[in-house]
Amino acid sequence: MSSPTVDIIVPVWNSPFETRACLAAILEHSPEARLIIVDNGSNRETELMLEEFSEPLGERGLFITTERNIGLIPAINRGLARSDSDIAVIVRPHVIVTSGWLPALLNAAMTTGTGIISPHFSGVSAPVLPTLVCGCSLMESCTVSSAALLLRGEMRMVAGFFDEGLDGGEWCLRDYVRRVAGFGYRTCLLSRPVLVCGTEQSFGSTERQRKMNLKSQSVYRERWGQTYHFAVYFGKEARADSLSDSVDAILEAARLGNRFALLLHRRQYADFCRRGWHALHTGIEICRLSPIFSLRSLSQRMATLQSGSPGLVMLRGGQGASFPGHESAQPLTELSTILSDGLVIPRPATEEKP
């Protein structure tokens, strides 16, 4: 199999010294990729630096300019619109890539068919991402970051670009993850490499950003519906070999942005780990109950979950099983009904390219 072609898109707004360091690291550690620089209405100092940096790149580079700051997502979309490679990777200017970063992302994408991959980060403005299960290098997730993000080319052809009416952070990315899932593309987090984040440049006042975030959250929920946090108890007698359909249903619901805490007895926990069910999705957490005082352990776990998630929904998962202390718990077989009551039937967006 031939190596995929790669475009690295860097949306730039001011911060010339940090941006130069970012671009230099990309050239050093990604010699096989084409660099697409989007100058998003930067000041003259940054503009001169970018022109100087881009001039010797030749066919390895593409320089795009906008007359004013059009916003992060529109700038990224401008770069994506000019990308015709198998893979596009977004890298923000406050991120420093390291040796082996690109092969790791490409290997994960090409061997799994994943549509979106985000690495993990460290540093002063590192985005907070879910921690992967120990020993797992790649896990499905609904949470990614635009600090560095891989997107497959054929996925972009069918799913389009990011929604420019949403914020440049959490809700815009959640919306895109949901949209590409409708076309069968999965989203994953990669444990290695860990890229270094410097200070992120912000645009607009804190109050403006807060209002945009609230508006984007409202649009997302109107478009995709409510998400839930579930606690699932299968009962002590339930065996893992009878729970495959239940786990499949839970995984599909997690891919819609829902979260699950699976409360398991010792044997169930061991069987879930053996089958790989402990590392299906970052939205699914398996919790081992104490083998000696299991009911007390269940009560303590539930108290902890409810204190952190007041809207927690309880589900009983085993055939005929009860949920001690929570008689109002609904059967897991009602999961699809619960979700359909709160979800709008998704229709893929038909956006025009910028």
Note the pLDDT tens digit of each residue in 155-167: 999 999 999 999 7
Q: Are residues 114 and 217 in the same domain?
A: yes
The reply to whether the predicted model has a pTM over 0.85 is: yes
Q: Are residues 150 and 271 in the same domain?
A: no
Q: How many other C-beta atoms are found inside a 10 Å radius of the C-beta of residue 97? A: 23
Q: Are residues 198 and 66 in the same domain?
A: yes
- Given pLDDT bands bounded at 50, 70 and 90, which one contains residue 1? low
Q: Are residues 249 and 174 in the same domain?
A: no
- Given pLDDT bands bounded at 50, 70 and 90, which one contains residue 340? confident
Q: Are residues 155 and 300 in the same domain?
A: no
Say if residue 209's pLDDT is above 50. Answer: yes
What's the Cα-to-Cα distance from 319 to each of 253, 291, 330, 337, rounded to whole Å?
20, 21, 12, 18
Q: Is 213 part of a structural domain of the chain?
A: yes
Residues of the chain with pLDDT > 70: what percent?
95
Residue that is last in its domain, among 164, 192, 223: 223
Greater confidence (284 vs 210) lies with: 284
Q: Are residues 235 and 217 in the same domain?
A: no
At 59 the pLDDT is 87
Q: Are residues 119 and 15 in the same domain?
A: yes
Q: Is 29 part of a structural domain of the chain?
A: yes
Say if residue 204's pLDDT is above 80. Answer: no
At 190 the pLDDT is 97
Q: Is 353 part of a structural domain of the chain?
A: no
Residue that is last in its domain, among 165, 190, 223: 223
Q: Are residues 235 and 191 in the same domain?
A: no
In 3D space, the residue among 326, 298, 304, 329 whose CA is nearest the CA of residue 236 turns out to be 298
What's the Cα-to-Cα distance from 59 to each of 32, 62, 189, 294, rounded to whole Å?
12, 7, 31, 64
Number of structural domains in the chain? 2
In 3D space, the residue among 20, 63, 11, 19 whose CA is nearest the CA of residue 40 turns out to be 11
Q: Are residues 30 and 137 in the same domain?
A: yes
Q: Is 22 part of a structural domain of the chain?
A: yes
- Given pLDDT bands bounded at 50, 70 and 90, which one contains residue 152? very high
Q: Is 1 part of a structural domain of the chain?
A: no
Q: Is 354 part of a structural domain of the chain?
A: no
At 77 the pLDDT is 96
At 344 the pLDDT is 40
Q: Is 351 part of a structural domain of the chain?
A: no
CATH number of the domain enclosing 237: 3.40.50
CA–CA distance, 22 with 27 (Å, rounded to integer): 9
Residue that is last in its domain, among 168, 191, 223: 223
Q: Model confidence over 40-82: pLDDT tens digits?
A: 999 999 999 999 998 889 889 999 999 999 999 999 999 999 9
Q: Is 57 part of a structural domain of the chain?
A: yes
Range of the domain at 315: 229-342
Q: Are residues 166 and 56 in the same domain?
A: yes
Say if residue 346's pLDDT is above 50. Answer: no
Q: Classify 125 as helix, strand or coil.
A: coil
- Given pLDDT bands bounded at 50, 70 and 90, which one contains residue 351? very low
Say if residue 3's pLDDT is above 90. Answer: no
Q: Are residues 182 and 233 in the same domain?
A: no
What's the Cα-to-Cα distance from 267 to each of 188, 290, 291, 309, rounded to whole Å?
29, 11, 9, 27
Q: Are residues 157 and 281 in the same domain?
A: no
